[in-house]
Amino acid sequence: MAAGRGAGLLRPPRSSGRATFLELFFDLAFVVALTRVSQRFAGLSDDTGWALVTGFGRTLLLFLALWLIWSHTAWITSRYEPERPIIQAVVVGTMFAGLVMAVTLPRAVEERALPFTAAYLLVMVVRPLVVAAALRGHPRRLVPFRLAAWSAASAPLWLAGALGPDHLRLPLWVAALAVDYLAWALGWPLPWLGASAVGRWRIAGTHLADRYQQIVLVALGESILVIGVVFSGTNYSAQRAAAFAFAFATSALLWRIYFHRAGLLLAEAFGRAGMPGRLGAASERTHLLIVFSVLVTAVGYELVIDDPFGPPRPGWLLFVVGGPVLFLAGRMRLEYEIFGRAPRSQMIGLAALLLLTPAMVHGTPMVGLSVVTGVLALVALLDALRNRGRPLEISAPPVGREAPGETDSEA
Q: Which residue has the higher pLDDT, 6 or 179?
A: 179
pTM to 2 decimal places: 0.94
Q: What is the pLDDT of residues 132-155, one digit of tens each?
A: 999 887 888 889 999 999 999 999
**pLDDT (0 to 100) of residue 349:** 96
**pLDDT (0 to 100) of residue 261:** 84
Q: What is the pLDDT of residues 59-83, one digit of tens each?
A: 999 999 999 999 999 999 998 988 8
Q: What is the pLDDT of residues 320-371, one digit of tens each?
A: 999 999 999 999 999 999 988 888 999 999 999 999 998 888 888 999 999 9
Whether the pLDDT of residue 400 is over 70: the answer is: no
**Average pLDDT rounded to a whole number, residues 42-48:** 75
Whether the pLDDT of residue 406 is over 70: the answer is: no
Whether the pLDDT of residue 27 is over 60: the answer is: yes
Q: What is the pLDDT of residues 357-382, one digit of tens each?
A: 988 888 889 999 999 999 999 999 99
Q: Is 87 within 8 Å of 81 (Cβ atoms)?
A: yes
Give me the CATH code for the 205-387 domain, please: 1.20.120
Whether the pLDDT of residue 112 is over 80: the answer is: yes
Q: What is the pLDDT of residues 260-280, one digit of tens each?
A: 988 888 888 888 887 888 899
**pLDDT (0 to 100) of residue 408:** 56
The domain spans of the chain are 2-196, 205-387
Q: What is the pLDDT of residues 87-108, one digit of tens each?
A: 999 999 999 999 999 999 999 9
